[in-house]
Structure 1
Amino acid sequence: MKFSAILALCAATLTVGAAPTANFVYTSGQKFYLNGLKYTFAGTNAYWLAQMSNSDIDKAFSDIAASGVTTVRTWGFNDVTSIPSTGTYYQLWTNGTATINYGSNGLAKFDYVVQSAAAHGLHLIVTLTNNWVDYGGMDVYVSQLDPSGGGYHDLFYTDPTIQAAYKTYVSAWISRYSSNPTIMSWELANEPRCAGSTTVASSACDTTTITTWVSTMSAYIKSLDKNHLVAIGDEGWFQRPGAQPYPYDPSVGISFDDNILVPTLDWATLHLYPEYWGEADNVTEFGIAWIRDHAAVQKTANKPVVIEEFGVSIANQSEVYPYWWNEVLSSGMTGDAIWQSGSYLSTGPSPNDGFTYYPNGTVYQLVKGYAALLKLRG
């Protein structure tokens, strides 16, 4: 039996979660709900929040809330191999031993992120590791714990020792926040793939490798935390061989069609960066088709789907984004989270990676208008 068929059978016989807990966001069909009312996922990303002062965190959330956004995705990871002189980190690795940082520049700092988000009426999506080298992530686990020394990136998904270390880290977050309704959802990883920034994939890694890991880890989180939603945090790659553009048959280890059927996942994600995916001459049209095709899977799977990262070069944003947002609205896709929100802080502008929008800009006003339309659509 094909792996996708097995997942479909499981999805038909196992429901995700129990009755909703008061004040926690939950799903029903293709929508999110909160205390019996539809919850609009009008989102943004601000990965850098925990690296800022408390007053700057407040300023960032104030700017975000003023745009009408309801949901903010941020990093719940920073793995280091030496203690940084400044900033927040959550896990220190020394000769294969991980020490979780509960101090004022660790999880206690994230406490303030949660507190400030709640004060501004916002919910958080917290991503628990990174496929890429930024802020540590999977490659640190592999380099610290790989018994063979081969360094294949996909050992993160298959090696029992590495899996146990990831579970230990995840459990620290869950034990701290499982009863906090400001966190809307956990995400297993940012953009998981067979290969990473500094490590390559083994010949054995395929979509089954990551889908199996997703099934295992989402079930683990659900066993510890009955209140919060769980998603992957992936780019939504299809694996549909044939005459398709690269993102529909990329062979990077992700199958959106299979992953959305994992019964212990509550909702699914996709990202959208056409200029970096070989579609620079077809940015607007590719994005529309990408959204439409994922919305079609959303309807079949009957789970919420969110385009939780998207971006084009700054010169094109105000021209392209309205077309993509209109497709989200018309296709019935559950929601979106633009990459990424910016603010003018006490130290200057927040990090700008070429996609960042700020409160005095055109895109900020577009975000505000679109959030209002998404709330009206319901």
Structure 2
Amino acid sequence: MLCLTFKASGGATTLSTVVGVATSTTPPTTGATGTISKASGTKFTIDGVTKLYFAGTNAYWIGFLTNNADVDTVMSHLQSSGLKTLRVWGFNDVNSVPGSGTVYYQSFSGSSATIHSGANGLQLLDYVVQSAAAHSIKLIVNFVNNWIDYGGMAAYMKACGGSTNKDWYQSSSCQTLSILRNWIKKTSAYIKSLNPTHMVTVGDEGFGVSGGDGSYPYTSGEGWNWDTNLAISTIDFGTFHLYPSSYLRGTSNDFGNGWIQAHAAACVKANKPCHFEEYGVSSDHCSVEGAWEKTSVSTAGMAADLFWDDGDQLTSSKTSDDRNTIFYGTSDWTCLVTNHVSAIG
């Protein structure tokens, strides 16, 4: 997925204008900043400070919350914990307009797309941006997902008459592109033409990186050459994910340390930051993920990590738990967030 990283600034966002947000609460302005983050060699500069390392998390669900007080609670907990960046879903696509009250951002009718800027549409994401600004949290917003969750690439594929996700990249009825690199190059250049000051990244899982042990994740079997894509001039930093028990089939938890180091080496070569964008296990979170965090912080080329994913207590219930979730206030949070942020300094 291509991602646009942008500053969290008060008022309107680059995606839509905030007008009368539903269940409105006004986030405080204390601490709000409008500095655009950037890549500085293999490091990131955030709010004018180039640091060795930044820590953050994922909360794909936050833009779908309909109670703005819950959004503020989550942002407050992230800020007090010392987390600086938050990755959220900027998409929620449907192929037919759902019933009243259902959250969605974009609907397709045939090949025509309609942006939903209503109270249960992009106004919810607008409030996330406002609250992030108020709590000095920088956002990474994903444009689309390769998976079917919240529409994703499947919604686009269906709209253009394709039958598989692969059709989006290859079918002439969808577009004339035939390989991922060309799609990444042209799409990221288009985004830069609209907004040249903000960082753009691919948001991929990291397949096909050079080095490593030659096992499946390091091969180009998924149609991916990580080093080549990282070298594209309109891609500002590299991303990779780590879930040994699921998509990195046949690997152990210990595989993660080498996976981190291989991507970091490629980032050093490209002189771009490496962003450990997602990682998780379903058990033994502290011992397994804590080791990965230490490797990441101590490896040249690594600039940030975002664990998968953030969990919190909302007004009426807890957020979803996919067993990778790290909940605020737990012992796992102390280990993987409090101690991690303290070690970074």
TM above 0.5 = yes
Question: 2:138 is aligned with what amino acid?
Answer: H
Matching residue of 1:278: 249
- 2:298 — aligned with what? 330
Is contact 2:212–2:262 with CA below 8 Å preserved after alignment? no
Partner amino acid for 1:75? W
Matched residue SS, 2:327: coil
How far apart are 1:163 and its partner, in Å?
Answer: 5.3
Map of 2:115 onto structure 1:
100
Instruction: State the 1:279 CA deviation.
Output: 3.8
Q: TM-score, normalised by structure 1?
A: 0.76
Q: Does 1:339 align with 2:308?
A: yes
2:86 paired with 1:72: yes
Structure 2: distance between partners of 1:243 and 1:370: 28
Give me the whole-angstrom Cα distance separating, in 2, the residues matched to 1:243 and 1:26: 32
Contact map agreement 1:67 1:364 (CA 8 A) in 2: no
Cα deviation code 1:289-325 (max 9, x no counterpart): 1001111111111100111100011x21111112101
Counterpart residue number, 1:143: 158
Residue 318 of structure 2 aligns with an amino acid whose one-letter code is P
For residue 28 of structure 1, report the CA deviation from its aligned partner: 1.4
For residues 316 and 212 of structure 2, the distance between their equivalents in structure 1, rounded to whole angstroms, comes to 50
2:312 pairs with 1:298: no
Secondary structure of residue in 2 paired with 1:354: coil
Identify the residue that residue 225 of structure 1 maps to in structure 2. Answer: 195
How many Å apart are 1:159 and its aligned residue?
A: 4.8
Which secondary structure does the structure 2 equivalent of 1:275 belong to? Answer: coil
CA-to-partner distance for each residue in 1:265-303, whole Å, 9 max, x for gaps?
Answer: 0111000001112245x21x2000100111111111110
- Asked if structure 2 preserves the Cα contact closer than 8 Å seen for 1:342 and 1:359, the reply is yes
- The one-letter amino acid paired with 2:111 is G
Query: Could you tell me which residue of structure 2 aligns to residue 350 of structure 1?
Result: 319
Alpha-carbon contact 2:44-2:273 (below 8 Å) kept: yes
Does residue 49 in structure 1 map to residue 19 in structure 2? no
CA separation in 1, counterparts of 2:201 and 2:169? 16
SS state of the match for residue 118, structure 2? coil
Aligned length: 306
CA distance in 2, matches of 1:160, 1:102: 31
2:185 is aligned with 1:215: yes
Change (3 A) 1:245 1:257: same
**1:81 deviation in Å?**
2.0
The answer to whether structure 1 residue 265 and structure 2 residue 235 are counterparts is: yes
Cα distance in 2, alignment partners of residues 323 and 239 from structure 1: 21
**Is the Cα–Cα contact under 8 Å of residues 84 and 136 in structure 2 kept in the other structure?**
yes
Q: Secondary structure at the match of 2:45?
A: strand
Query: Match of 1:154, SS?
Result: helix
Per-residue deviation, 1:36: 3.7
Q: Does 2:25 align with 1:25?
A: no
2:287 to 319, 323, 334: 319
Q: Which runs of 5+ in 1 are unaligned?
A: 1-21, 165-203
- Kept in 1, the 8 Å contact 2:210–2:262? The answer is no
The whole-number CA distance in structure 1 between the counterparts of 2:211 and 2:55 is: 33
Shift of 1:240: 5.8
Kindly tell me: are residues 160 and 275 of structure 1, through their superposed partners in 2, closer, same or farther at Cα, counting changes over 3 Å? same
Which residue is 2:29 aligned to? none
List per-residue Cα deviations over 1:173-206 (Å, max 9, x = no partner): xxxxxxxxxxxxxxxxxxxxxxxxxxxxxxx96x
Q: CA RMSD in A?
A: 2.1
Asked if residue 110 in structure 1 is aligned to residue 120 in structure 2, the reply is no
Supply the distance in 2 between the matched residues of 1:99 and 1:25 (Cα, whole angstroms). Answer: 30
What CA distance in whole angstroms lies between the structure 1 residues aligned with 2:199 and 2:210?
28
Query: Which letter does structure 1 place at the counterpart of 2:202?
Result: I
Match of 1:196 in 2: none
Post-superposition Cα deviations, 1:57-100, rounded to whole Å, max 9, x if no partner, equal 11111122222110000000011123334342111112222111
- How far the C-alpha of 1:161 sits from its partner, in A, is 6.2
Q: What are the superposed Cα offsets for residues 99-130 of structure 1, whole Å, 9 maximum, x if unpaired?
A: 11111111222110000111111000000001
TM-score where L is the length of structure 2: 0.83
Measured against aligned partners, the alpha-carbon deviations of 1:332-377 in whole angstroms (never above 9, x if no partner) come to: 2111000000110012110111111111212211212212322x3x
Structure 1 partner of 2:96: 82
Deviations 1:14-44 (Å, cap 9, x if unpaired)? xxxxxxxx71101111011135421543110
Counterpart mapping for 1:365-376 below 5 A: 365-366=334-335, 367-374=337-344, 376=345
Percent of matched pairs sharing the same residue: 39
Relative to structure 1, the CA distance from residue 105 to residue 323 in structure 2 (aligned partners, 3 Å threshold; closer, same or farther) is: same
Q: Secondary structure at the match of 1:108?
A: helix
- Structure-2 residue corresponding to 1:119: 134
Which protein is richer in helix relative to its size? 1
Name the SS of the counterpart of 1:215 in structure 2: helix
SS in 1 for 2:310: coil
